[in-house]
Chains A and B, each alone.
Chain A
Amino acid sequence: MSVRKRRRSIFDIIDEYFENLEEWAEKFRETIIEKPSWDRRASTMEPLRDVMVTPDEVIVTVDLPYAEENTIQVKPLDKNTLEIKARMKRKVRFDDFGITHYDGEFQTFYCHTHIPVPVYMDKMEVRFKKGILEVHLPRKHEYEIPVE
């Protein structure tokens, strides 16, 4: 008996594409998360951060407890990556958290974060409030399809 294969519609292909994309994103997230949040060699701690895309801008927030405001540096590494650095008001050691099986001290927050859509890096605005850094990046709308 011959089995006739159903022809896939464009919607099936799009669904499959998004499923694959979601799977890839999940794997990517897990890879990122499965590493320590500190780097003893560089004496840096990785801060918690979040990226939000709105119709007009991308907002990156970074939680920087103990950060000295005048030491915060936000620098574009390329067109879709931001590097963030900040010095803490005091040194933090593992034994401050009761951990005695590692040694090392940290006084810097460091991370770089991916910006998911095109933005104007040169028009970035930065504010720091209640220990949280907020970076606003206006979006570049490169492809606009007119609605007829």
Chain B
Amino acid sequence: MSESVKIIEKKEVSPGAVMLFGFPDVGLVGVIAASHMISELGLTEVAYLDSKLLPPLIVLHEGLPHSPIRIFGNHSILLAVSETAISADVIYPVMHALIDWGKSKNVKVMISMSGIPVQNRQDLEQLKVFAAASTPEMLKAVQDKGIAVLKEGYMVGPQAIMLQYCAKMGLPAITLLAQCFFNYPDPQAAAEILKELANVTGIKVDISKLLEKGEEIRLRARDVMRRTQQELSKMKKTQEYDIPLYVS
């Protein structure tokens, strides 16, 4: 594990869990999905990330300090979530530390939950979910579940580093990306991700409250979205719209 980023465990962690990631990105899809999972499944904090690379920031809950990047879980799920936008220059060490830690816990598979922005999002009633994977076997597994593959293109952000690092280490990993707004919190896209997560892993989460509370979530998520927009712009997130030059 990277010396500059430490994962501090608060509880015993069961081996062989599914490890999920919900980090601030377009539409805050991953964070909204992760927050909903935590409350619906009653996940508790099992570990947190400690690093001097992060800004001097804590999150207060009930008057007590918490790291903005924490890992929640139960006997079969580990869920890494960030309550603040992660700066582009610390994404590498943060993701590497989390993946190294997950590997040390023998997680079955790592899955990041995020979004893929579409310009006509407002006109879409049904949102598609796409996937990319770290190995050909994982890619086939998601295709067998009927999920469309993101065949060509650029990926920018924590999920990109997760796939790259897991591919390098030979770890099974998937990124699920729901069509979403670029700049606005998108609870509907988060609900679509949770549906496909159930399809891939069997982890079922009731999404009815997530859809009912859509407006409240959008109002609440404005400030995190604003900060995230700033970081997305620094990491050139719009490159995901670019058409790649094919090099075989």
Q: Give the distance in Å from the alpha carbon of A129 to the alpha carbon of B214 in the complex.
A: 14
Which of A12-20, A69-77, A130-138 lies at the interface with chain B?
A130-138
| Residue interface bits B6-36, CB-to-A below 8 A is 1, else 0 | 0000000000000000000000000000000
Q: Are A33 and B230 touching (Cβ within 8 A)?
A: yes
Partner of A97, one of B182, B218, B220, B226: B220
Q: Are A33 and B215 touching (Cβ within 8 A)?
A: no
Q: What residues on B are CB-neighbors of A83 within 8 Å?
A: none
Q: Does B236 contact A (CB under 8 A)?
A: no
Q: Give the distance in Å from the alpha carbon of A48 to the alpha carbon of B184 in the complex.
A: 7
| Residue interface bits A57-89, CB-to-B below 8 A is 1, else 0 | 000010101100000000000000000000000
Q: Are A37 and B219 touching (Cβ within 8 A)?
A: no
Q: Does A124 contact B (CB under 8 A)?
A: no
Q: How far is the CB of B234 from chain A (nearest CB, A)?
A: 9
Q: Give the distance in Å from the alpha carbon of A130 to the alpha carbon of B122 in the complex.
A: 7
Q: What residues on B are CB-neighbors of A65 within 8 Å?
A: 214-216, 218-219
Q: Are B219 and A29 touching (Cβ within 8 A)?
A: no
Q: Does A50 contact B (CB under 8 A)?
A: yes
Q: What residues on A are CB-neighbors of B182 within 8 Å?
A: 50
Q: Are A63 and B184 touching (Cβ within 8 A)?
A: yes
Q: Are A48 and B122 touching (Cβ within 8 A)?
A: no
Q: What residues on B are CB-neighbors of A48 within 8 Å?
A: 183-184, 222, 225-226
Q: Does B40 contact A (CB under 8 A)?
A: no
Q: How far is the CB of A138 from chain B (nearest CB, A)?
A: 19
Question: Which residues of chain A (14-68) have a CB below 8 Å from chain B?
Answer: 29-30, 33, 37, 45, 47-48, 50, 61, 63, 65-66
| Residue interface bits A123-146, CB-to-B below 8 A is 1, else 0 | 000000111101000000000000
Q: Give the distance in Å from the alpha carbon of A130 to the alpha carbon of B180 in the complex.
A: 13
Q: Does B212 contact A (CB under 8 A)?
A: no
Q: What residues on A are CB-neighbors of B220 within 8 Å?
A: 97
Partner of A63, one of B218, B227, B230: B218
| Residue interface bits B204-246, CB-to-A below 8 A is 1, else 0 | 0000000000111011101101110010010000000000000
Query: A46 — nearest CB in chain B belongs to which residue?
Result: B222
Q: What residues on B are CB-neighbors of A97 within 8 Å?
A: 220
Query: B182 — nearest CB in chain A belongs to which residue?
Result: A50
- With A50-B183, A65-B215, A65-B219 in contact, do A33 and B226 touch (Cβ < 8 Å)? yes
Q: Give the distance in Å from the alpha carbon of A47 to the alpha carbon of B225 in the complex.
A: 11
Partner of B122, one of A29, A66, A132: A132
Q: Which 6 A-B pairs have the closest CB atoms?
A: A65-B218, A65-B215, A63-B184, A65-B219, A50-B183, A66-B215
- Known pairs A45-B219, A50-B184; list 18 more (Cβ under 8 Å): A29-B233, A30-B230, A37-B223, A45-B222, A47-B222, A48-B184, A48-B225, A48-B226, A50-B183, A63-B183, A63-B185, A63-B218, A63-B222, A65-B214, A65-B215, A66-B216, A92-B219, A134-B122
Q: What are 9 A-to-B residue pairs whose CB atoms are below 8 Å?
A: A45-B219, A47-B222, A48-B222, A48-B226, A50-B184, A61-B184, A129-B122, A132-B122, A134-B122
Binding site for B on A (CB under 8 A): 29-30, 33, 37, 45, 47-48, 50, 61, 63, 65-66, 92, 97, 129-132, 134
